[in-house]
Amino acid sequence: MVSSVNPALRKLILQWSIALGIATALVIGAAISFWILPYLRQRNQVAGLKSTTFETRVRIASRFPAPGEDEALRLVKRAMANREPAKVGALLHMGSASAAEVIGFFKDSDKRDGAVTRCEWLSSIDGDGLPLEGVQVAFKGNDKPVERLALLTPDDNGVWKMDFDAFARSVRPSWHELLDNRAEQATVRVVVGRDAYFNGPFRDEKSWSCYAIASPDIDILLRGYCKTGSAQETAMERLLVDGTGMSRATLEIRRVEGADARQIEIISVLAKDWVVPYRNLTAGVPGKF
Q: Is residue 11 part of a domain?
A: no
Q: What is the CATH number of the domain that holds 130?
A: 3.10.450
User: Which helix (H) or strand (E) covers residue 171, if one does?
Assistant: none
Q: Is residue 48 part of a domain?
A: no
Give me the number of domains the chain comprises: 2
Model confidence pLDDT, tens digit, residues 93-146: 999 899 999 999 999 999 999 999 999 999 888 766 788 999 999 999 988 999
Report CA 29 to chain centroid distance, whole Å: 32
Which range (11-25, 148-162, 244-258) has the least confidence?
A: 11-25
Residue that is last in its domain, among 143, 168, 193 = 168
Residue that is last in its domain, among 168, 185, 210 = 168
- If asked whether residues 276 and 191 sit together in one domain, one would say yes
- If asked whether residues 90 and 153 sit together in one domain, one would say yes
pLDDT confidence of residue 128: 67
What secondary structure letter does DSSP report for 244? Answer: -
Tell whether the model's pLDDT for residue 33 goes beyond 90: no
Give the residue numbers spanning the domain of 216. 175-280
Model confidence pLDDT, tens digit, residues 34-90: 443 343 344 444 444 445 554 545 555 556 788 999 999 999 999 999 999 999 999
Q: Is residue 152 part of a domain?
A: yes
Q: How far is CA 173 from CA 195, 217, 256, in A?
A: 25, 14, 17
> 3-state DSSP call for residue 277?
coil
Model confidence pLDDT, tens digit, residues 225-242: 999 999 999 999 998 886
- If asked whether residues 200 and 147 sit together in one domain, one would say no
- If asked whether residues 209 and 234 sit together in one domain, one would say yes
Which residues have a Cβ under 8 Å from the Cβ of 91 and sit 6 or more positions away?
75, 78, 79, 82, 161, 162
